[in-house]
Amino acid sequence: MSTFKNRKLWIDSRGMPVITTTSNGARNAEHWGWTPAIATPSEMAGRMTGKVLDPTCGARMMWFNKTDPRAIYGDQRTETHTLCDGRTLNITPDVELDFRELPFADETFRLVVFDPPHLTNVGHSSWLAAKYGRLLPSWQDDITAGFAECFRVLKPEGILIFKWPEVQVPLGDVLACTPEKPLFGHTGTNPTTHWMTFMKDASPDHHSDKETDA
Ligand X SMILES: C[S@@+](CC[C@H](N)C(=O)[O-])C[C@H]1O[C@@H](n2cnc3c(N)ncnc32)[C@H](O)[C@@H]1O
By the criterion CB under 6 A, which residues form the site for ligand X? 55-62, 75-77, 91, 97-100, 115-117, 132-133
Number of Cα atoms under 13 Å in the Cβ half of residue 31:
5
Residue 56 CB, shortest distance to ligand X, in Å, is: 3
Neighbouring-strand partners of residue 73: 54
d(CA 70, CA 40): 13
Contact between 21 and 7 (Cβ < 8 Å): yes
Residue 23 CB, shortest distance to ligand X, in Å, is: 26
Beta carbon nearer to ligand X, 11 or 161: 161
Instruction: State the Rg of the chain over Cα.
Output: 19
Residue 73 CB, shortest distance to ligand X, in Å, is: 9
Beta carbon nearer to ligand X, 11 or 57: 57
Beta carbon nearer to ligand X, 29 or 53: 53
d(CA 156, CA 176): 22
Beta carbon nearer to ligand X, 77 or 206: 77
Residue 57 CB, shortest distance to ligand X, in Å, is: 6
Q: By CB neighbour count within 10 A (0-12 exposed, 13-18 middle, 19+ buried), where does 167 fall?
A: middle
